[in-house]
Structure formats: C-alpha cells, structure tokens
Structure 1
C-alpha cells in the first residue's frame, strides 16, 4: 500500500532522513519510536508533504511521485490520501466541535453542508463527544480537543492516518481517553502510522514497530521482537530507560 524508496532530507547540511526505504501493508498499525531528534516527526510530515524531502519516491496505492518533482496539483491530490493528527490540536477557535470536523469535508471534499454535518456528527459520536458537538475549543479539555482532531481526521476517510505524538500536549490524567480513541480507530482497520513516546501503548496497539535513530530505521519488527529481543544495542539502550522507569522485572 505504502512504498517509500530512498527518502532523504537534510537541513543546513545536517542529514535528518537518510535514504529511508519502507513498505507498509494495508491495515498495518506502524509505530515509530526513538529518541528526540531522531527524525520521527519529520518523517511523518514528509508523508503528507508538510516537509518536502530532497529526493526519494513515495507511493500510496496507485499514486506514486518523485518527491523532487511534485507540482502543486499533485501535492493536493497526494495529501488527500492521508489525514494527520498533530501534537497540538490545531482546531479553529471560532468554530464549535461540529464545525471543526465539517471544515475539511466542505472545503476539501466539496461535500454539501448537510452531508458534511451528518458525517461530522457520526464521527464525534464515535469518539465519545456526542454531548460536545456545540462546544467551542476553549470549552473543551485538552483530551476532548484532541478527540475532536481525531474525529476530523477520520471524517476525511483517509487511506492512511498519521499521528504525531498525539498525547504529548496533554496532562497525564487526560492521556487515557485519547489513547482509547486511537485504539478504537485502529480496530476499524485503517492503516495507521503513529509516532509516540507511550511505550506500553505502542506495544499494545502496534502490529509493527520501527526504531529510528539518526535518520535511519535500525529496527523493524513486531512489538514483542523490538521490545523484548531487539537486534541493535542502540535500541536496547533506549528501551532500557523505559524498563527501568516501569520497574520491569527483566532486563535486555
């Protein structure tokens, strides 16, 4: 479904993504982990061209593009294949929850307002916010705002859902409700690529885990393989900090 070949991106002479090659099958839940500065969020942003790589090829289903030769109309068409949930919620403060979810359906997909309203309401119900459709962002908790953002992404019916540290801006007590919403979305069968520092959640939800280090994928496997039997010493060193914090009763 998703094919990434030789994806490379540098800033001011610093290599951020180093010739990444990756193939993702439909319905996979791929989690990307790694230290800060490893290139995780940048990689995710490249998949909908919020960051433009210098070279490489990205394919989603039958859409395949050389990233160095994108034209404006191709970028719009390509972005319609994905939907992204950001660390910050990026809701329109002057629009209520229903209107925030409707926005992309009306502006991007050109749906009639009544159809957009119906879809938006259904998605808000799915994320447990049926009683908050008329509330504005300032009237919602951080967790509720992020759930509106997830509803907005799902409403676009994307082929791939991208999530960039979706709980990092939340108070700890609000994290659970957002993780439960993401888990609900995963059960729907949507292909998902997730960047997260919530290791226990990653282990629970992902079908595949990638460890990114210095712009390269150095570990790729099932959650049990990566978390319990990693190949690379760098992966072991990274995960050992989390196991120590969790007071696990085994070592790797």
Structure 2
C-alpha cells in the first residue's frame, strides 16, 4: 500500500528525518509517536509533499514518486492520493460546513455542484453533523469544526488519510467527539497514519505504532507490544511520562 524508502530531510544542516524506511499495509491504522521535535509532523507532511525531502521515494499503491521530482503535475497527482487533517481546522470562514466540504470536490475532482453537495451531505451526516450543515465555522465549536475537516478529507476518497495531532487545538471536553469521529473513519477500513499525543487513544485505535526519535524509527510494532514491552530504553522513558501504570519494568 505505502512504501517509503530512504526518506531524508534536513533543515539548515539539521537532520530531521534520517533515511527512513517503512511499509504500511492496506487498512492499517499507524500511529506515529515520540517527543516534540522528533520529526513526527514533518514525516506526515512529507507523505503528501507539503514538505519536500531531499532524498527518498514514496509509493502509494502503484503510484511511485521520487522526491527529487519537481514537476508540478506529478506533485499534484501524488498529493491526490492522500488527504490531510491538520491541527488547525483550515476551514473557509465565509463558507458554511456543507460548502467547505463541497469545495475540494468541485475544484479538485471537478464534480458538479449537485454531486458535490450530495457527497458533502453524506459525509457530514457520517460525522454526526446533520444538523449543522448550514452553520459557518464561527457558529461551530472547535470539535465540530474539526469534524467538518474530517468530513472534508473523507469526501475526497483518499487512499490514505493523514491526521496531524487532530485534537491538539481543542479544549479537553471537546477531544472525545473528535476521537469518536476518527473511530468512525477507522471502521470504514481507510488506511490511516496519525500523529497524536493522546496515548490512550493511540493504544485503542492503532493497529501499529511507530516510535520516532531523532529522525529514526526505533520501535515498530503493535500497540500492545510498544506500550507494554518496548525494546528501547528511550521508548520506556517517553511512555513513563504518560502511563505510570503501564505493565513493564523501567
């Protein structure tokens, strides 16, 4: 499904991603965890070319992209393999929820207004916002805005859904509704890669966890294995801050 080879990125001679290699199978839900500055969000942004690595290849299904390529049409075609949900909601303030979801369908996929409206409505219903489709962002809570953003991403029917700390901008009482929405997306069988600091959620939803440290993947296993019996001391030290009751010896 997704194959990453030798992905390398530096900023001002500072190595952020260090020749990363990994493979993700269809329908997997892969969580990337690690300390701040480990390169988690940067990796996610590299997977849809919002950041441009200096080296490496990324393949999604049969679409392989060498990151040295700068041809705009190939970059655009590759980005359409994925959809991303950001920390901030990035909604058009002058458009209501329905119009926000319709926008990409009409501009990128060239759907008619009627077809885009039908799909947008279905996705908003799917994320529990049937009664908010004509509300503007300023009339929605942060959790509701993020759910619109998730509906917008799902409407594009991506091969891979990327989620970058989707709850970090929310008040604590709003986190639950967004996590519940992500679980709905997971049940649809969509391949997902998410960066999150919500460790209990990662443990609950992910089928696989990657622990990133200093630009390298130092753990790659099931949530049960990574959280209960990590192989690296660095992982144990990190998780100890979140799970004082995790059943492993530090």
Shorter chain as normaliser: what TM range? over 0.9
Q: Distance in 1 between matches of 2:247 and 2:81?
A: 42
Q: Distance in 2 between matches of 1:138 and 1:169?
A: 15
Query: What residue in structure 1 maps to residue 223 of structure 2?
Result: 223
Per-residue CA distance 1:42-89 (angstroms, 9 max, x = gap): 000000000000000000011101101231000110010000000000
What does 1:32-51 align with in structure 2 at a 5 Å threshold? 32-51=32-51
Cα shift at 1:243: 1.2
Q: How many residues align?
A: 249
8 A contact 1:96–1:135 mirrored in 2: yes
8 A contact 2:27–2:192 mirrored in 1: yes
SS of residue matched to 1:7:
strand
Unpaired stretches in structure 1, ≥5 consecutive residues: none
What does 1:1-252 align with in structure 2 at a 5 Å threshold? 1-244=1-244, 248=245, 250-252=247-249
Q: Distance in 1 between matches of 2:149 and 2:33?
A: 22
Cα shift at 1:120: 0.1
Per-residue CA distance 1:95-130 (angstroms, 9 max, x = gap): 000000000000000000000000000000000000
SS of residue matched to 2:110:
coil
CA RMSD after TM alignment: 0.7
SS of residue matched to 1:162:
strand
TM-score, normalized by length of structure 1? 0.98
Q: Distance in 2 between matches of 1:178 and 1:193?
A: 16
SS of residue matched to 2:243:
helix
Q: Distance in 2 between matches of 1:16 and 1:70?
A: 21
Q: Distance in 2 between matches of 1:115 and 1:250?
A: 51
Cα shift at 1:249: 6.6
Per-residue CA distance 1:132-164 (angstroms, 9 max, x = gap): 000000000000000000000000000000000
Cα shift at 1:183: 0.4
Q: Distance in 2 between matches of 1:19 and 1:151?
A: 33
SS of residue matched to 1:50:
coil
Unpaired stretches in structure 2, ≥5 consecutive residues: none
